[in-house]
Structure 1
Amino acid sequence: MTAWAGPLTRETLYPWHVPLFFFLSGYFWSENRTLTSEVRSRAKSLLLPYLFWLIVIAAWSIAQLDVIGPSTFSRLLLGGSRLTGPFAAFWFVTALFVAAVLLRAVQRFPLWMQWAAGLVALAVTYAHSNLVAKIPLAAGVACACLVFVLAGRAFKKLRSRVKRPLLTGCLLLLGSACAIVADWSSYLDLKNAKLGVPGVTVVVAVAICAGMVLVAETLVPLAGPRFAAGVTMLARCGLLVVLTHALVLVILMQWGAAPWLVFAGSLVVPWLAAALVLRTPLSPLLLGTPRAGKPRSVRTDPLSTRT
């Protein structure tokens, strides 16, 4: 997996690329949904595509094996950090599901209790990362990631007070970059419950997410409605990319493709496929989002248009 795990991608992408999705889930959070409707909605938008692609890629993966044992199927059922190779990013989907449902379950309690729960989970993860990473379906990591969802929700409430969003966003990104270059912070490996420098790395990740939101909200509208529509379309395709890019990566590596081609292909191929699927009746099953052109409700999930 060197195309995705090299020093450049590790230092430039890993400090923020997964926390951003949790942060955006909080940023687009709807306060008036019930726990039952949260579970139902997230199951349709996250777990249904997860199960579909798990079965499809498992069939391909098992066909490549010379020996099949009980551990092969136990890894598929337990998920989380046990899934590697073509399943490398599957942990994220179950973690996002658990984090969203967990926040919905605790949002009736005072805000300080919600943050206390997230911070305790964060502390436990720092202290016992190996144990947390082994919890099935990345549920342990999801508890720690509750902090990112809470941060996104809190930032949404503060957003109207930011008078110069572009400048503020750039300063947040610049400050975060300086912290990383100065080695005050490190990258995150949330799949394996590695949270970098205690406290600092999480704060830097949140700052990057907030900065990106401010910059995007300022610049995307300036690019015109067509560009904004394109960004929305790519966002609706995101879940398929998450679930299938590692499969494309593995196949290209088996073919002996150059690292740059592996990196580019593992992005371009899934996104093109997702853009095509989005226009078919298979979109809810494969993408977790309604077919393009169908009426849809306000988006509260960075990987789905379902609420």
Structure 2
Amino acid sequence: MENRGHGAHPPGGGRLEWIDVARGIGIMAVAVGHVWTRGGLRDAMYSFHMPLFFLLSGLLSRPQPVARFTRRQLVSQMRPYAAFLVLLIVADQIIETMKGGRPIFHDWPKDVLPILLGGSWLRGPFTIFWFVPCLMMARILFNLGLARWPDPLDPRWAWAMLPCLLLAYGAGEFGTLSPLGVLTVPMALVLLWIGAAWQCLSWRGWMFVPLALLSLAGLMALVPTLNMKAADYGWPLLSMGSAIATSFLLFRFSVRIAPFGGWIAAVGRASLVIMYLHVAVIHYLSPYLGKPWLLMQALILPLAAYYLIRSAPGARRIFL
């Protein structure tokens, strides 16, 4: 496929660095949205933070051999998922017992089924665990499409995404149960495609104004915000359009600051570990810390865990 844009290799910082910066901004927005659980700041973060990760994944997608890619996704994504899930279940048993409380999962063996179902059955410190299996399933499906139509700007993609978009909005209206985050997969698939298509386009200066106006509509809560886990996408097209606009502008911003955004890039490289652990930090420390301190710990402790895991080959193979 001809690379008509420079999205994957933009000037200013290099490919991996700006991507890590974008991931860092995204995961910090996720943490902020989980610390401030109501109000304007929370709504601003929820207006874009999860779509950003799906769009970025789509932007980086390339056609892969279907069988090999599927196997690699299942192993590389579900192994850390299971490892972190078991780790937090054990931690919850210990911490809640020490506090004199009741662990979230306390009715064994009945609790084995909701743990295996994941998604909407996981709450408290486990609430973010819907994201990785949802992204994995969407990436596998998207790669199936790329194997057939390697150019995301092929008009057939638009026709294929239309029923996905209708299914995404319909799923949110008529369903709440979401094993392994499957309820969100149709919208995730659409976002992957939009991210891949954006990579094929060249930036034009005039794009900034409409993107900025659409972004501000979400950041200022002029349109309803998003809750992707529950397949709540606000106003059809407008709320998600605002999230896409904010994400694209943040990608441009990431390119600009990549040469001197080292600490943000470091956070981005640890984004998967932060994604898994930050809600648990917030869950257990929120009674004892103010929100700014809580946010700091929600980033620093998982970041430290990332470097600890990375330094131990055995742990690295399991958790990363």
- Give the TM bin, normalised by the shorter chain: 0.7 to 0.9
Cα distance per residue 1:127-183 (max 9 Å; x no partner) = 33165441311122112211111111000000xx2254xx855x4663134323675
Query: Which residue number corresponds to residue 212 of structure 1?
Result: 250
Q: Give the secondary-structure state (helix, strand or coil) at the position aligned to 1:21.
A: helix
> Relative contact order, CA 8 A, sep 6+: which one is greater?
2
Paired amino acid for 1:189: N
Return the match for 1:244 from 277, 283, 300: 277
Identity of aligned residues (%): 23
Q: Is 1:13 paired with 2:61?
A: no
Contact 2:225/2:233, CA 8 A, preserved across alignment: yes
State the superposition RMSD in angstroms. 2.5
Aligned-residue offset at 1:2: 6.8
Q: Aligned partners of 1:57 and 1:116: how far apart in 2?
A: 42
> Normalising by structure 2, what TM-score?
0.77
Count of residue correspondences? 275
Superposition map of 1:286-301 within 5 A: 286=319, 288=320
Q: Aligned partners of 1:132 and 1:54: how far apart in 2?
A: 25
Q: Aligned partners of 2:174 and 2:256: how far apart in 1?
A: 41
Q: Is 1:174 paired with 2:212?
A: yes
Cα distance per residue 1:80-109 (max 9 Å; x no partner) = 122110101110011110110010112234
- Unpaired stretches in structure 2, ≥5 consecutive residues: 1-32, 97-101
Q: Is 1:188 paired with 2:226?
A: yes
Q: Aligned partners of 1:104 and 1:41: how far apart in 2?
A: 12
Q: Is 1:50 paired with 2:89?
A: no
Return the match for 2:312 from 280, 284, 290: 280
Q: Aligned partners of 1:81 and 1:53: how far apart in 2?
A: 17
Q: Give the secondary-structure state (helix, strand or coil) at the position aligned to 1:144.
A: helix
Q: Aligned partners of 1:79 and 1:8: how far apart in 2?
A: 29
Query: Which residue number corresponds to residue 163 of structure 2?
Result: 120
Q: Aligned partners of 1:270 and 1:243: how far apart in 2?
A: 8
Query: Which residue number corresponds to residue 73 of structure 1?
Result: 112
Contact 2:120/2:130, CA 8 A, preserved across alignment: yes
Aligned-residue offset at 1:241: 0.5
Superposition map of 1:91-102 within 5 A: 91-102=130-141
Q: Give the secondary-structure state (helix, strand or coil) at the position aligned to 1:187.
A: coil
Cα distance per residue 1:258-302 (max 9 Å; x no partner) = 23322321122112221332333122322x2xxxxxxxxxxxxxx
Q: Is 1:38 paired with 2:69?
A: yes
Q: Aligned partners of 1:140 and 1:192: how far apart in 2?
A: 8
Query: Which residue number corresponds to residue 195 of structure 2?
Result: 152
Aligned-residue offset at 1:27: 0.8
Aligned-residue offset at 1:121: 2.6
Q: Aligned partners of 1:182 and 1:241: how far apart in 2?
A: 26
Contact 2:119/2:130, CA 8 A, preserved across alignment: yes
Query: Which residue number corresponds to residue 288 of structure 2?
Result: 256
Q: Aligned partners of 1:42 and 1:25: how far apart in 2?
A: 13
Contact 1:95/1:138, CA 8 A, preserved across alignment: yes
Contact 2:224/2:239, CA 8 A, preserved across alignment: yes
Contact 1:2/1:259, CA 8 A, preserved across alignment: no
Paired amino acid for 2:107: I
Contact 1:130/1:192, CA 8 A, preserved across alignment: no
Q: Aligned partners of 1:81 and 1:122: how far apart in 2?
A: 21
Query: Which residue number corresponds to residue 145 of structure 2?
Result: 106
Q: Aligned partners of 2:277 and 2:61: how far apart in 1?
A: 26
> Normalising by structure 1, what TM-score?
0.80
Contact 1:241/1:271, CA 8 A, preserved across alignment: yes
Q: Aligned partners of 2:253 and 2:175: how far apart in 1?
A: 34
Q: Aligned partners of 1:112 and 1:135: how far apart in 2?
A: 31
